[in-house]
Structure 1
């Protein structure tokens, strides 16, 4: 908008003529001297244009700039609130990390169908499912026992085979910053390093019920309902230990060994004191 030579009146300096202006400043020649002002802020209260048509056009520009300013202010406020929420979550996260006490059954085993098997290993995460009843019906389950010491075991059973033939497909530590109590979407992401997928031949040698047992019914091998269940830290250590022994390729064995050592460290387990597996399948 060209305002050069437009006549104006300033509340203090009187009448003048615009000699220069840009997006941020304006210079006006008054009878006594030239004065610079902030543009377009000076218009309105302090400075009036004589030309009403130009004044109306300028008013629209000022209104647009004011809206832009308010939008920027709203964005800053929203960003400030977002950062505050993030800070609150960080503090809560740090508190939970600091005060966390190891639960003896803070590992999770999943029953995966074919679609879930493919997705679990391509995306390296599993979904805990939704709550079936009550006030929170339809909301994702919170895997509240899972923490930085937790691992997720993926299992499956071939169609028409008995439950005792359930195979272990793979395993991963949860993401290093994951806290089940704070999980709102029900997805449990994998650690970037500690994750293992077994070959079909390896999986055939890793039967889940060699490790898992329901002490109330030690000879029963049933999985009645639900997509997952918690189980003992020691059992997961036994599984990882046997996976290390199962691996023949040096690089894969090294990776499995690192996983096993990390898991034991996180769960305060000593390899020398680790008992032999004694699951339901071994008690028949």
Structure 2
């Protein structure tokens, strides 16, 4: 915006003319002095333009600038709170999730449903996924056209980086925008390789998700990464594995 030569008025110095303009400052020549002001900050707090149209444009410029500053401040505050919360986060021993889902429902999946409580005084109310935190990984499992013996890990995702299960009231575990992946057929692996059947009763249709140990999840992701070596999904899976180990404060094992 070129405002050189524009007439202005200052509350103390009176009338003047803008004689120089840089990226963030202007020089105003008054009858008895020459002053330097921040631009556009000086409008309208100290300076008022004679040209009302240009004055309005500068005020809008100021509004946009203040809004950007406020948004940047809010973003920094949110990031600082996130870092502090992650730093003090207690890693629960069973904060990983196995989820029952049909493969056709994974396309563009942004969240998984927690379902409702099935009994007791709270029956029918949303199930609170209290153990799910940003360090939680979710393995997506499906039996395909077979029975329970054919249950397979067909996808893997991390919980959203700002998701805290204890605060969830909408029956939705938000998934991470980046770390979620539908596994190719060659990289899928049997679910029952890692769990005993008696630990997972056949109630997947009624209770869609189940918790399990962090170490077991590390083993699952490690094995999937090893299986995916040399495939198109290798890089994405390795990034997910590194992220998982980082947020769970687990030593990352080299995959050979």
Q: Could you say which TM-score interval applies, normalised by the shorter chain?
A: 0.5 to 0.7
Please give the alpha-carbon distance, in whole angstroms, between the structure 2 residues aligned to 1:94 and 1:135: 37
Contact preservation (8 Å) 2:98, 2:141: yes
Please give the alpha-carbon distance, in whole angstroms, between the structure 1 residues aligned to 2:115 and 2:83: 27
What's the counterpart of residue 115 of structure 2?
Answer: 129
| Length-normalised TM-score, structure 1 | 0.55
> Which segments of 5 or more consecutive residues in structure 1 lack a partner in the other structure?
1-85, 275-284
What's the counterpart of residue 183 of structure 1?
Answer: 168
Measured after TM superposition, the shift of residue 190 of structure 1 is: 1.3
Match of 2:211 among 230, 241, 255: 230
Please give the alpha-carbon distance, in whole angstroms, between the structure 2 residues aligned to 1:152 and 1:239: 11
**Residue 95 and residue 183 in structure 1: after superposition, are their counterparts in 2 closer, same or farther (change >3 A)?**
farther
Say which one has the larger Rg.
1
Contact preservation (8 Å) 1:120, 1:126: no
Deviations 1:6-62 (A, max 9, x none): xxxxxxxxxxxxxxxxxxxxxxxxxxxxxxxxxxxxxxxxxxxxxxxxxxxxxxxxx
Please give the alpha-carbon distance, in whole angstroms, between the structure 1 residues aligned to 2:232 and 2:105: 25
What's the counterpart of residue 52 of structure 1?
Answer: none
> Which segments of 5 or more consecutive residues in structure 2 lack a partner in the other structure?
1-73
**Residue 95 and residue 133 in structure 1: after superposition, are their counterparts in 2 closer, same or farther (change >3 A)?**
farther
Tell me if 1:196 matches 2:185.
Answer: no
What's the counterpart of residue 157 of structure 1?
Answer: 143
**Residue 95 and residue 265 in structure 1: after superposition, are their counterparts in 2 closer, same or farther (change >3 A)?**
closer
Tell me if 1:253 matches 2:234.
Answer: yes
Measured after TM superposition, the shift of residue 254 of structure 1 is: 1.3
Please give the alpha-carbon distance, in whole angstroms, between the structure 2 residues aligned to 1:223 and 1:260: 29
Measured after TM superposition, the shift of residue 224 of structure 1 is: 3.8
Measured after TM superposition, the shift of residue 222 of structure 1 is: 4.3
| Length-normalised TM-score, structure 2 | 0.60
**Residue 169 and residue 228 in structure 1: after superposition, are their counterparts in 2 closer, same or farther (change >3 A)?**
same
What's the counterpart of residue 193 of structure 2?
Answer: 210
Contact preservation (8 Å) 1:153, 1:170: yes
Match of 2:159 among 150, 164, 174: 174
Please give the alpha-carbon distance, in whole angstroms, between the structure 1 residues aligned to 2:85 and 2:241: 24
Measured after TM superposition, the shift of residue 97 of structure 1 is: 4.4
TM-align CA RMSD: 2.9
After superposition, residues 15-94 of structure 1 pair within 5 angstroms as none
Please give the alpha-carbon distance, in whole angstroms, between the structure 1 residues aligned to 2:203 and 2:123: 21
Tell me if 1:148 matches 2:134.
Answer: yes
What's the counterpart of residue 110 of structure 1?
Answer: 99
Q: Which has the higher helix share?
A: 1
Please give the alpha-carbon distance, in whole angstroms, between the structure 1 residues aligned to 2:168 and 2:241: 25
Please give the alpha-carbon distance, in whole angstroms, between the structure 2 residues aligned to 1:178 and 1:100: 12
Contact preservation (8 Å) 2:115, 2:171: yes
Deviations 1:143-185 (A, max 9, x none): 0001110011110113442x33210010100110000001110
